[in-house]
Amino acid sequence: MEALHPMRLKQLLHLAAFPKPNKTHFIFRKLIPLSTTRSSSSASSSSPASAAVAGGRNRRSSSQTNTSDREAVRAIRIKKVQELRSKGLDAYAYKWERTHSSNQLQEIYRDLGNGEEAASESDRVSIAGRIVARRAFGKLAFLTLRDDSGIIQLYCEKERLLSDQFEHLKTLVDIGDILGAEGSIKRTEKGELSVCVTSFSILTKSLLPLPDKYHGLTDIDKRYRQRYVDMIANPEVADVFRKRAKIISEIRNTVESAGFIEVETPVLQGAAGGAEARPFVTYHNSLGQDLYLRIATELHLKRMLVGGFEKVYEIGRIFRNEGLSTRHNPEFTTIEMYEAYSDYESMMNMAEDIVTRCALAINGKLTLDYQGVEISLERPWRRETMHNLVKEATGIDFTKFGDDLATAKEATLQTLAIGGDNKNKSSIEACPSVGHVLNEVFELVVEPKLLQPTFVLDYPLEVSPLAKPHRRHAGLTERFELFVCGREMANAFSELTDPLDQRERLEEQVRQHKKKNAALLSETSNVEDKCKKVVDDDDDDDDDAYDVTLDEDFLMALEYGMPPASGMGIGIDRLVMLLTNSASIRDVIAFPVLKTPQL
């Protein structure tokens, strides 16, 4: 570690000691947002900073603060912990009895006039939270305390505090510390509701400095990696996760009011089914066998229908060992639900119910702005077939091709002017059926343009192995996907209940997957090519070969008989992104998967 210059250390120690103030006003820095696009929720913001004192931090950007400065601050604060203990005070308390949250106080005393104090015994309050700002003026100090509900000012006069507590406030309390305070309520002449502190305790002594006033926590990777600091520095980040919790609660309320029962299915499974995705594989030592983290909850929920349940749902984590992007995280959350004696029309109505109720719960309206695009969630939403959407966008009528795969590929490449050796051409040429070509064209051309809520109906049979054949159109299925802002939000079927048809389709899926694996292995057989492969952190494609197997137990369950049913899965992370105007899935997952940082 770089040695700290003696003069710098002396300056830091001087700053941390907080000598008795003279007529000069000492302003302790406050937290501000990470970027200029975010708004600050500061209190006591009327005074400009004239000195930067934050428990030994000097006035510089977070990116400039080197390791030696950080360690020096930490050493100073550890000494403060030792000093507290030498005075018989615990720097890490067991408990604090609170009477109110800051938001409750703001609400209860909203009518208290400027300059008034509620000094009766019944107005004595006890509060606790983190100190995020402070100012000192001789025998008076102002601290801004933040708890889970908001902020409130602590008004600290030397005459009101017990014994030598005011001196402790100046010398031992730093920004970032968690304090408990007791006192009465007053509103200052400037209109700031405050707790007039008569006693306080340091409940948790912070050893590391928070991001500074001028730059905050700006490194995007560090924000995700140290989310706890991100939430301290930017209260609006924590608000996203409060909204996420409210969205999940509203989803539960919606489906349970419709009679659905929440169930739990295994995370560790003997066969990874319900989707085509690479699973995470682990090994159970006692059983001596491989197990898989689930890639979907579908097949076990259908087993519940076989067992006699008629309306079931599960909100749970799904794991897919695939790429990272702004839309994909290897660990994500979905709700899957299944209803006996219904079809995919029922699930369209349920999808509208869930999304609109969540939007009203979070935003109080059915119009929202997502990354500069105004979205209307007013019902009913557009419902259109995949065939019609592709024809509308490209002019290609896939119904005329029948099973003529070569003609479908040629027409697609010519119409879309896809040439050369590029990924889109390779994807279309690799399609094993006309239905696969149709799906590729949809994903390439149509999907990004579906900004307003749209149900895309009647997917090809070849890409929907778990969906029931369409009752009127051969080669199609009763399946829909919901798209908003060019992203899939939900996927639903009239469920396939014919066990023989289901077996045949899954076996065909396995055969096609093995062909794809063989092609991939052939393409990457050259060792030099393998060595040249670069993993892109913002690429959600992952073309390495992996094995898939049939879930024989699920197929056996179907042979006992599953009632006609519909089923739907909704990506909760993407729904939260939409309703909180978050650009990346990492913004709505508290601790997303990240690459190990390079040292």
SS (H, E, C) 9-24: HHHHHHHHHCCCCCCC
What's the rounded Cα separation, in Å, for the pair 427 and 442? 13
pLDDT confidence bin for 20, thresholds 50/70/90: very low
Is the model's pLDDT at 468 over the cut of 90? yes
Q: What does the block give as tokens for 94? A: 């067991």
Instruction: Provide the mean pLDDT of the chain.
Output: 87
Q: What angle do CA 53, 229, 30 make, to 5 degrees?
A: 30
The whole-number pLDDT of residue 543 equals 55
The whole-number pLDDT of residue 420 equals 65
What's the rounded Cα separation, in Å, for the pair 59 and 520? 55
The 311-319 sheet, strands edge to edge? 261-262, 311-319, 331-340, 565-571, 487-494, 479-484, 454-457, 382-385
The whole-number pLDDT of residue 513 equals 85
CA 550, 552, 555, 557: dihedral to nearest 10 degrees?
A: -150
What's the rounded Cα separation, in Å, for the pair 291 and 232? 39
| Number of Cβ atoms within 10 Å of the Cβ of 438 | 26
Bridge partners (DSSP) of residue 180 are 128, 201
- Over residues 202-218, the mean pLDDT reads 82
The whole-number pLDDT of residue 35 equals 34
Under 8 Å between Cβ of 587 and 240: yes
pTM, two decimal places: 0.84
The whole-number pLDDT of residue 220 equals 86
pLDDT in tens, 298-351: 999 999 999 999 999 999 999 999 999 999 999 999 999 999 999 999 999 999
pLDDT in tens, 407-440: 999 999 999 987 666 889 999 999 999 999 999 9
All domains of the chain, ordered by start, with CATH? 6-218 (2.40.50.140), 235-381+452-524+536-587 (3.30.930.10)
pLDDT confidence bin for 113, thresholds 50/70/90: very high
The whole-number pLDDT of residue 92 equals 98
Is the model's pLDDT at 465 over the cut of 60? yes
The whole-number pLDDT of residue 196 equals 97
Using DSSP's 3-state secondary structure scheme, residue 250 falls into: helix
CA 229, 231, 232, 235: dihedral to nearest 10 degrees?
A: 160
Burial of 83 (0-12, 13-18, 19+ CB in 10 A): middle
Using DSSP's 3-state secondary structure scheme, residue 412 falls into: helix
Backbone angles phi, psi at 276, to 5 degrees: -105, 100
Instruction: Give, for 251, the enclosing helix (H) or strand (E).
Output: helix 235-257
Is the model's pLDDT at 60 over the cut of 90? no
The share of the chain scoring above pLDDT 90, in percent, equals 73
Is the model's pLDDT at 78 over the cut of 60? yes
What's the rounded Cα separation, in Å, for the pair 180 and 171? 17
Burial of 400 (0-12, 13-18, 19+ CB in 10 A): exposed
The whole-number pLDDT of residue 221 equals 87
Is the model's pLDDT at 528 over the cut of 60? no
Backbone angles phi, psi at 488, to 5 degrees: -70, 130
